[in-house]
Amino acid sequence: MHVDNIIKGVIKSNKRHLAKAITLVESKSLSKREDADKLLNSILPYTGNSIRLGISGVPGVGKSTFIESFGKFLTSIGKKVAVLAVDPSSKISGGSILGDKTRMQELAKDHAAFIRPSPSDESLGGVARKTRESMLICESAGYDIIIVETVGVGQSEIEVASMVDCFTLLQLPGAGDELQGIKKGIMEISDIILINKAEGENIHKAQLAKSQIENALHILKARDDNWMVKVLLVSALNNEGVERFWEVLLHFITHMKNGNFFRLKRKKQSVDWMWKLLDEELMRIFKSDERIKEMLVSTEEEVRAGHINPASAAKTLLDVFLKKK
């Protein structure tokens, strides 16, 4: 299908064209990069009108159940929802975080929802790049809420937080150990924290977790945007607390917009993204240089053996790369 037809279809919110557009930007083929760039530049005027929401949490916290519950609530009030995944583990496990969509069966059937697994066999940087571009495509197709789900460990949360308007962390209702799973860095980038599975016998544990997390948040330094991180109890299984989360999310977005933080944050994200892409492209050019290819293996061995220090090795490689042929 010609890229011009894909662009028209995306803008008309055609799901088939939307899927083809995302497949195009996911392609590793350099020959298709020109079409992908044309696509992204063409849809840019239609982007920027959605809420970009990042959702993270350790495996087993109930992210998929919560996203499905929240997604169904959103479509019930007339919103269009897209769910994208950032799954750096897919390279190891062989499958993406959303798999074949079996974990969100009901939402996948909803005509107002679109679910896209992360690209398989990709590094975190590669997945993050594709997810950013997929997010823009979904926005141009008229999706009101773009949910970016992360597997919930390590650097993936930082990547997701750097591309969304609101970063939400899901926690389990532990009894005294709930803070062990939250690193200070993750607390600092979270805008809303949800204690999921707050139901039945877990209610007391969930309330205790809420109090302890709120106390821990007071220790952190005040944020530049003056937002006080909210901690809420939810039960995705029983669809409880979902509407309250939506209210708090809207309150957060309004707070950010009123203080002009929303616009500034998006602008910073765009510039940061440009530099990240530039870094990636420069590294690709560097590693594809024939002279560097010939030296890399032996230079790495020298560094590994301790015969040359890393700084000297890097300088030598750069000197060779920058030297005119």
289 shares a domain with 162: no
Strand-pair partners of 116: 84
125 shares a domain with 99: yes
Q: How many domains does the chain have?
A: 3
State the residue for tokens 């590693």. 287
Please give the chain's pLDDT, 325 residues, in tens. 799 999 999 999 999 999 999 999 988 887 888 999 999 999 999 999 999 999 988 778 889 899 999 999 999 999 999 999 876 655 444 444 444 455 688 899 999 999 988 765 555 666 677 889 999 999 999 999 999 988 655 677 888 889 999 999 998 887 445 455 556 678 788 999 999 999 998 899 999 889 888 888 888 878 889 899 999 999 998 999 999 999 999 999 999 999 999 999 999 999 998 998 899 889 989 999 999 999 999 999 999 999 999 999 999 999 999 986 5
263-294 in b/e form (b: 16+ CB < 10 A) is: eeeeeebeeebeebeeeeeeeeeeeeeeebee
Rg of the chain (C-alpha set): 22
Cβ contact 122:93 at 8 Å: no
Cβ contact 157:149 at 8 Å: no
Q: Which residues lie below 8 Å from residue 240, measured CB to CB, with a gap of 6+?
A: 198, 199, 234
230 shares a domain with 105: yes
Rounded to whole angstroms, the Cα distance separating 293 from 226 reads 50
316 shares a domain with 233: no
202 shares a domain with 98: yes
Residue 141 Cα to chain centre, angstroms? 19
The domain of 248 spans 47-259
Q: Is the pTM of this model over 0.75?
A: yes
105 shares a domain with 124: yes
Two structure tokens written together for 42: 């063409």
CATH of the domain at 4: 1.20.5.170
